[in-house]
Amino acid sequence: MRRLQSTANKSRHNRLYFISQRQSVGRVLPWLLALVAIIAAGLWWYFAPDSIPRPLKAMLPASPKAAPALYKWRDAKGGLHVTDIPPTDRPYETVRYDPNINVVPTVVPPPGTTR
């Protein structure tokens, strides 16, 4: 009889332990899912800012990938260069641009010429 009671107590203890473990997983899981969603949204904002819907994009700060810095500088012969890496041996100007605006003017050939 005593063995039967001790076996029943052990199985009851195991069931209670399993239930408490399941409840703690139930508390942690929503927080873990929220953390994963926040990390995924941050990576989406950083690596693919152009694919974010317009209303959401208006509320977020600009991603560094959305408008990278360009560096304008002149070489020894006076030629103008624009690069994404600043030169180390000469002065340069940092230029920011909006990639949604066409920076190249439309070229219309003068009247009377053909292409």
- Banded model confidence at residue 4, pLDDT cuts 50, 70, 90: very low
Q: Say if residue 42 is in the same domain as residue 75.
A: no
Number of domains in the chain: 2
Identify the domain containing residue 73 by its residue range.
67-115
Q: Which of 20, 38, 59 is the last residue of a domain?
A: 59
Verdict on whether the full-model pTM lies above 0.85: no
Rounded CA separation 49/24 (Å): 37
| Domain match, 90 and 46 both | no
pLDDT, greater one: 34 or 66: 34
Tell me, yes or no, whether 7 and 55 share the same domain. Answer: yes
- Taking the C-alpha atoms of residue 55 and residue 73, their distance in angstroms, rounded to an integer, is 37
pLDDT at 102 over 70: no
First-to-last alpha carbon distance for the chain, in angstroms, is 105
Q: What's the count of helices (H) and strands (E) in the chain, helices before strands?
A: 2, 3
Pair (10, 55) in one structural domain: yes
Neighbours of 78 (CB within 10 A): 6
Q: Are residues 113 and 82 in the same domain?
A: yes
Tens of pLDDT along 22-55?
Answer: 666 677 888 889 999 999 988 887 788 778 888 8
pLDDT digits (tens, 9 = 90+) for 74-88: 998 999 999 988 998
